[in-house]
Structure 1
Amino acid sequence: MIDGEFNYRYAGVQRVLGILLMIFSVSMLLPVAVGALYGDGELAAFVIGFAVTLATGFMAWAPTRQVRRELKIRDGFLVVVLFWMVLSLFGAIPLWLAVRPDMSFTEATFEAVSGLTTTGATVLVGLDTLPHAILFWRVLLHWMGGMGIIVLAVAVLPMLGVGGMQLYRAETPGPIKDSKLTPRIRETAKALWYLYVSLTLISALLFWAAGTSVFDAVGNAFSSIATGGFANHDLSLGYHGSAAIELVAIISMLAGSVSFGMHFMVWRNADPRIYWRDSETRTFVIMILAATTIATVVLMVAGTYVGLGDAVIKSLFQVLSIGTTTGFTTTDYSIWPSFLPMFLLLGGFVGGCAGSTTGGMKVVRSILLAKQGVREISRLVHPNAEIPIKMGQKVIPDRVVQAVWGFFAVYVTVFVLMFLILLSTGLSELTAFSAVAATINNIGPGLGEVSSNMASIPAAGKWTLCLSMLLGRLEVFTLLVILTPAFWRR
């Protein structure tokens, strides 16, 4: 009886997972087409990956295809967590089977998790010599993970008889999850993806016009709009040596780091001033400008760059790249003078705006933490005063503020635990700290031994960092909630 209840309860989850795996399998045919176009091999790895993923998805879906049970909120959390874990494993299959690069299953899984979570940390070297199919698969994982495959599925699953609001609430980042752009969740997901595709196309055209090849233009657009950071060259965007390409990347990263809800509102009302009226977007822009000013001054005083224009462009690019958790590089920022490398890395803890493709804690949480700190100081002087916390003209309920503090406490605790685990593998303090910071915030490059890639991390450390990337992508609570006993009670 208990087994029957258990099977019925999770049959809907199994059905959705099967459907999503079958949908995901189709994406593996795109690198086959790219590889055939350029003729440099590794097509068999993707064909096998497609077949295995499709067959597994079908076997999960077939026994439950008649189930029409509406998903509950806890089902939504379970689908999101399971799908990201399973998706990473299946996404690793082509990388593992490929002859070039020659990767262990641990390395292939790390690369797939890094791609899907838009982290951009890599264990690969010699990117310039890899087959086009492999390079395209890496950035395609970024692009699919950027807005979340779950949101895409929400636009499709209603046609298959599966409700979507629960999935959307579990996947959408940020502390306020109940706002919808349009009355129906399916229409919301569609609107977000239309915007996402449109911005990607615009970005690709701009990269191409700035002088990259078509292949690099598409790859750079996929990575920058998804704020991922994978590039087709070992030197990242520094390979091109072009200020115009850096400027296009800056524009694309900005587009990916602002809430897509804001993009939708601006498009619907044809009023760009909406960006500045939003307190989170306004604060984000001010923070980027302030950090760029500081970096420029330090670089000029240290004599790293002679011309002010070069210093400003390099500073703005790298501040935006790390601050938006994209992780592109045009220079080795880890050897910049003074406190700048750690300053940039710590900026990645803030990340971009809620509802964007960025990682980190999000600007809105940082604002609320700061306002709560100021309120507590004011209460020391006026202990009986009622001091509301506002975002713009809206009073934020104390329940939301408490949730943000809870998130911050768990975030710090998880970070410390991951840091200690990496130290136990023999890494230095700087390398371990920056590796966890780069993965839990979905940044990509770190400092020390992981400034260019993470190939030197031991296998145990790579699996730890895979968990760190998933925790960061799912904003900690979504993953941790399924580990609580209360989640599994009826």
Structure 2
Amino acid sequence: MRLAVIARVMGLLLIVFSSVMLPSLALAWFEPRDTFGAFLLAAIVTVVTGLALYAPARGARQELRLRDGFVIVTLFWALLALFGALPFVFAGLAGFADAYFESMSGLTTTGSTVLTGLDRLPASVNLWRGVMHFLGGGGIIVLAVAVLPLLGVGGMQLIKAETPGPMKENKLTPRIRETAKGLWTIYLGLNVVCVTSLWVAGMTPLDAFVHSFSAVATGGFSSHDASIAFFQNPVIELILTLFMFLGGINFALHFVAFRQRDPRPYLFDGEFRVYTAIMVGATLVMAFALLASRTYPDFADALRFSLFQVVSMATTTGFATADFAAWPAALGGLLMILGFFAGSAGSTAGGIKLMRIMLLFKQGACELRRLVHPNSIVTLKLGGKTVPERTISAVTTFFTAYLAIFAVIGLIVAAMGVDLVTAFTAAAACLNNVGPGLGQVGPATTFASLPDAAKWVLSFAMLLGRLELFTLLVLFTRVFWRS
């Protein structure tokens, strides 16, 4: 383990992170409440810590190994949440457990919150919550990959540890720095268009930035307690629906389509077609169910609210235009289930990812075929290519581990005196990076009522979900630490 190199990279990343507090610091200068001092102190602590890590190791310029990449990615996300929590603590808005939970939720684009009175929060704090979503969605490590090669530190090990899904072994361009820049260009461009559209549709500039950062990053933080229901504006809902949908698509597809100036890569991609079919099918099922249950007497309203909530929960954004916990129980359950698998690999969405579910279904079909024809040679193909046995094994292992961890986290939270519905939907919301759950953590409430111990467990669940389990779990294995 190259500790000096790790310390150098960590120091550089913390220095960069301190600079993203500057917009909130500048906005706090004009606020009557003394949040300026909180952001100033937080920025100073962060940059001083970064310098303390960087200065002694500034001469360490060896190439990172894969193991170093895993340590940096995991350690940095954990520490990033720590320093991101400082403005909440210094401003007196939350205790340390609540502040760390809020910060981890923002950076992992989960969107679960412990704060109330969002409409009355200082504008600088709401902006900071949105900025954390922006960084988490784009991937602070991917940003670092675009910058660090200029400073003598290679980036391939970092991006392999950070990037989820089947695309992570493939480079979209020959140079990893150019890939990172290309992805960030697309991500930033989507945010610019979304901010402009929301502003034109009637949002204030602050609301437009916060909700754009949340929508494209599939985060879910809002600057209003009522979330998107605050606006009662169908145009705003349609704009956010579109950008949540785009955020849930594999960004490699965006990259290829943008580079070729051709939308056909979307049409030829099997995962995209299934992703779209799930959104359409779930929306129609939910709309007819809401109409049948007389939750909404008009089909247009049922369709409007169904579309928004399906896209919001399936992409693990977590915005709300209605309290779906008050809908028929089966519909709330359906929305929580969608959060487990509907997001695409390589997107800003959380959960197991649709590509893995597709592989599992195809594997199941292959096993049924082998039962009928036991002597036949059956190969699993995806997109016309044979899937290696190692990939199938990895997906099966991931799926099993994911469900087991979900069950364990839910039981741990329940053991702290939380009712089962709240405990298990809170576990699902945090592990899937969705945001709201049901029960005490429904869309009309917050996570504030949970015990502090439960918030620490759920913060760990968010980190697990953001790093897709194995990036973090590998650090707890004996073989990883053997030289």
Tell me which interval the TM-score lies in, with the shorter structure as reference length: over 0.9
Match of 2:7 in 1: 14
State whether structure 2 residue 474 is matched by structure 1 residue 484. no
Question: CA offsets, 1:26-58, max 9 Å, x none?
Answer: 111110112224554401111001000000011
Does the 8 Å CA contact 1:40/1:132 hold for their aligned counterparts? no
Match of 2:213 in 1: 222
Pairing partner for 2:85 from 88, 92, 110: 92
Match of 1:442 in 2: 433
Does the 8 Å CA contact 1:180/1:188 hold for their aligned counterparts? yes
**Alpha-carbon deviation of 1:176?**
3.9
Provide the secondary structure at the position in 2 that maps to 1:348: helix
**Which runs of structure 2 are paired with 1:41-190 in the superposition (5 Å)?**
41-99=34-92, 101=93, 103-190=94-181
**Identity across matched positions, percent:** 48
Provide the secondary structure at the position in 2 that maps to 1:177: helix
**Alpha-carbon deviation of 1:304?**
1.2
Pairing partner for 2:467 from 468, 474, 487: 474
Pairing partner for 2:449 from 414, 431, 456: 456
Aligned counterparts of 1:338 and 1:183: Cα–Cα separation in 2? 50
Aligned counterparts of 1:39 and 1:285: Cα–Cα separation in 2? 47
Does the 8 Å CA contact 1:41/1:131 hold for their aligned counterparts? no
Q: Provide the alpha-carbon RMSD of the alignment.
A: 1.0
Superposition TM-score, scaled by structure 1 size = 0.97
Question: CA offsets, 1:75-100, max 9 Å, x none?
Answer: 1111000000011101101111103x
**Which runs of structure 2 are paired with 1:229-308 in the superposition (5 Å)?**
229-308=220-299
Aligned counterparts of 2:393 and 2:307: Cα–Cα separation in 1? 34
Question: CA offsets, 1:184-221, max 9 Å, x none?
Answer: 00000000011111000000011111111111111110
Aligned counterparts of 2:25 and 2:223: Cα–Cα separation in 1? 17
Match of 1:431 in 2: 422
The one-letter amino acid paired with 1:440 is L
Q: 1:176 to 1:271 in 2, by over 3 A?
A: closer
Aligned counterparts of 2:376 and 2:462: Cα–Cα separation in 1? 42
Does the 8 Å CA contact 1:192/1:264 hold for their aligned counterparts? yes
**Alpha-carbon deviation of 1:419?**
1.1
Provide the secondary structure at the position in 1 that maps to 2:111: coil
Aligned counterparts of 2:430 and 2:329: Cα–Cα separation in 1? 24
The one-letter amino acid paired with 1:182 is T
Deviating more after overlay: 188-197 vs 412-421: 412-421
The one-letter amino acid paired with 1:61 is Y
Provide the secondary structure at the position in 1 that maps to 2:365: helix
The one-letter amino acid paired with 2:293 is A
Question: CA offsets, 1:407-437, max 9 Å, x none?
Answer: 0111111111111111110011101010000
The one-letter amino acid paired with 1:69 is Q
**Alpha-carbon deviation of 1:338?**
4.2
Aligned counterparts of 2:183 and 2:101: Cα–Cα separation in 1? 28
What stretches of structure 1 move > 3 A for 4+ residues in a row?
A: 37-41
The one-letter amino acid paired with 1:96 is V
**Alpha-carbon deviation of 1:175?**
3.3
Aligned counterparts of 1:306 and 1:272: Cα–Cα separation in 2? 38
Superposition TM-score, scaled by structure 2 size = 0.98
**Alpha-carbon deviation of 1:180?**
1.1
Deviating more after overlay: 369-378 vs 124-133: 369-378
Provide the secondary structure at the position in 2 that maps to 1:71: coil
Provide the secondary structure at the position in 2 that maps to 1:229: coil
Aligned counterparts of 1:143 and 1:70: Cα–Cα separation in 2? 29
Does the 8 Å CA contact 1:175/1:404 hold for their aligned counterparts? no
Does the 8 Å CA contact 1:165/1:185 hold for their aligned counterparts? yes
Aligned counterparts of 1:50 and 1:323: Cα–Cα separation in 2? 35
What is the aligned residue count?
481
Deviating more after overlay: 299-308 vs 156-165: 299-308
The one-letter amino acid paired with 1:297 is F
Match of 2:392 in 1: 401
Question: CA offsets, 1:149-205, max 9 Å, x none?
Answer: 000000000000000000000000113411111110000000001111100000001
The one-letter amino acid paired with 1:395 is T
Does the 8 Å CA contact 2:278/2:342 hold for their aligned counterparts? no
Aligned counterparts of 2:446 and 2:103: Cα–Cα separation in 1? 15
Unaligned runs of 5+ in 2: none
